[in-house]
Amino acid sequence: MAREVDPKQTRKALRIIRKLAAKSAAPEAIDPETGEVKPGEGAVDYSQWETAFLTEVDKRLEKYGSAFNDLSKGRKDEALSSLQTVKLKEIAAKARGKKRKGMTTKKPLGWKNRPQRPARDES
């Protein structure tokens, strides 16, 4: 039984993935003065894993309309699982030049203003 995936979700995911993949494939430029080959303007140096991730997710979206099969990993009508969405956001942040941490815990509000505990006297 095939799963019904919202076609808008699939198109949105494909657009994002292809946009990110195009950033790594920016054409190289040759410096006219030195003849040195430089990476194209706005080119992003993805790792081998990130490149493989983008191509595999693109293929799955094209073929099936969704990039995951196990419904415990995401919502039924979504095209990407929750972890795939997180990884895409990390790759997009890398393409923008910003560092994005993975899944981290957040500190509670007001943690800087809390009074410090006195140090224990170990004598």
Residue 92 has pLDDT above 60, yes or no: yes
Residue 2 has pLDDT above 70, yes or no: no
With cut-offs at 50, 70 and 90, classify the pLDDT of residue 1.
very low
Backbone angles phi, psi at 79, to 5 degrees: -85, -25
Specify which residues 29 forms β-bridges with: 38
Of the ranges 31-35, 53-57, 72-76, 98-102, which one carries the lowest mean pLDDT score? 98-102
Q: Are the C-beta atoms of residues 16 and 95 closer than 8 Å to each other?
A: no
The pair of three-digit structure tokens given for residue 89, joined into one six-digit string: 């956001």
> How far is it, in rounded angstroms, from Cα 70 to Cα 82?
11
pLDDT of residue 101: 61
The whole-number average pLDDT for the span 84-112 is: 79
Q: What is the pLDDT of residues 36-68, one digit of tens each?
A: 766 666 678 888 999 999 999 999 999 988 888
> How far is it, in rounded angstroms, from Cα 25 to Cα 55?
13
Q: What is the DSSP secondary structure assignment for residue 117, as one 8-state letter?
A: P
Q: What percent of the chain has pLDDT over 90?
A: 28
E strand residue ranges, the chain: 29-30, 37-38
Domains of the chain, by residue range, sit at 7-96
Higher pLDDT, 87 or 104: 87
